[in-house]
Amino acid sequence: MVQERRILYEHLDVPDINTFDVFRQYDGYTRFEKAIAEYQPDDVAKMVMDSGLKGRGGAGFSTGLKWSFVPKDIKPCYLCCNADESEPGTFSNRYVLEKNPHLLIEGILICCYAMGIETTYVYIRGEFTLGKKMLDAAIKEAYEKGYLGKDIRGTGLNVDIYSHPGAGAYICGEETGLIESLEGKRGQPRNKPPFPAVEGVFGKPTVVQNVETLCNLPFIIGNGVEWYTQMGPTYADTRANPPTPDPNTGTKLYCISGDVNEPGVYELDLGLTCSELIEVAGGLRGEEVKAVIPGGSSAPILTHYELDTRLDFTSLTLAKSMLGSGGIIVMNETRNIVDCLLNIMKFYAHESCGQCTPCRWGTPWVRDIVQRIADGNGRKDTMTRPKFGVAENGRWGDTGETEEIYEDLDLLESVANNIANVDTMTWNTICVFGIAVSWPAVSYMRKFRPEFEATIQEGKLVTLPVAEATVSPEENYAYQQRFVPKEFADL
Question: How far apart (Å, rounded) are the C-alpha atoms in residues 337 and 109?
Answer: 44
Which among ligand FMN, ligand SF4, another protein, none contacts residue 209 (Cβ within 5 to 8 A by kind)?
A: ligand FMN
- Phi, psi for residue 447 in degrees, rounded to 5: -80, -25
Site for ligand FMN in 184-203 (CB under 6 A): none
| Min separation Cβ 428 and ligand SF4, Å | 9
Q: Are 111 and 217 in contact (CB under 8 A)?
A: yes
DSSP 3-state of 466? helix
Question: Is there binding between residue 57 and ligand FMN (CB under 6 A)?
Answer: yes
CB–CB of 251/237 below 8 Å?
A: no
Q: How far is the CB of 195 from another protein (least distance, A)?
A: 20
Looking only at residues 208 through 237 of this chain, which bind ligand FMN when binding is defined by CB under 6 A? 208-210, 213
352 near ligand SF4, rule: CB under 6 A = yes
Binding characters for ligand FMN, 144-173, by CB under 6 A (x = yes) = ---------------------------x-x
Query: What span, in angstroms and rounded, lies between the C-alpha atoms of 80 and 482?
Result: 41
State the DSSP code for 190.
P
| Phi/psi at 421 (5° precision) | -85, 120
Binding positions for another protein, 305-334, rule CB under 8 A: 327, 329, 331
The C-alpha atoms of residue 481 and residue 491 are separated, in whole angstroms, by: 10
Q: Is 210 exposed, middle or buried (0-12, 13-18, 19+ CB in 10 A)?
A: buried
Q: Which of 140, 185, 385, 482 is close enough to bind another protein by CB under 8 A?
A: 185
Q: How many CB atoms lie within 10 A of CB 436?
A: 29
Give the interface size with ligand FMN as a residue count (CB under 6 A): 24
- Binding residues for another protein, rule CB under 8 A, total 53
Taking the CA atoms of 443, 444, 450 and 454 in sequence, report the sign of the dihedral they define.
negative
413 is a contact residue toward ligand FMN (CB under 6 A): no
Q: How many CB atoms lie within 10 A of CB 239?
A: 10
CB 423 within 8 A of CB 417: yes
Q: Which stretch binds ligand FMN (CB under 6 A): 83-91, 231-239, 287-295, 360-368?
A: 83-91
Three-state SS for 124? strand
CB of 86 to ligand FMN, least distance (A): 5
Site string for ligand SF4, 403-432 (x = CB under 6 A): --------------------------xxx-
Cβ distance 33 to 154 under 8 Å?
A: no
Residue nearest to ligand FMN (CB): 55
Amino acid at position 418, single letter: N
Q: Which does 175 bind (CB under 5 to 8 A by kind): another protein, ligand FMN, ligand SF4, none?
A: ligand FMN
- In the range 170-199, which residues lie near ligand SF4 by CB under 6 A? 171, 188-189
Q: Specify the DSSP class assigned to residue 127.
A: T
- The yes or no reply on residue 269 touching another protein (CB under 8 A) is no
Contact between 359 and ligand SF4 by CB under 6 A: the answer reads yes
Q: How far apart are CA 393 and CA 55, in angstroms?
A: 40
User: For residue 196, which of 297, 40, 83, 69 has the smallest C-alpha distance?
Assistant: 69
**Binding of ligand SF4 by 353 (CB under 6 A):** yes
Alpha-carbon distance 101 to 312, whole Å? 26
Contact window for ligand FMN (CB under 6 A) among 28-36, 55-63, 265-273, 378-386: 55-63
Please say which residue, 249 or 429, places its beta carbon nearer to ligand SF4: 429
Give the binding site for ligand FMN (CB under 6 A): 55-59, 61, 63, 82, 84-87, 171, 173-175, 208-210, 213, 431-433, 436
**Residues near another protein (CB under 8 A):** 85-91, 93-94, 125-130, 160, 162, 164-170, 181-187, 202, 255-259, 263-265, 293, 297, 327, 329, 331, 335, 340, 343-344, 347, 350-351, 353
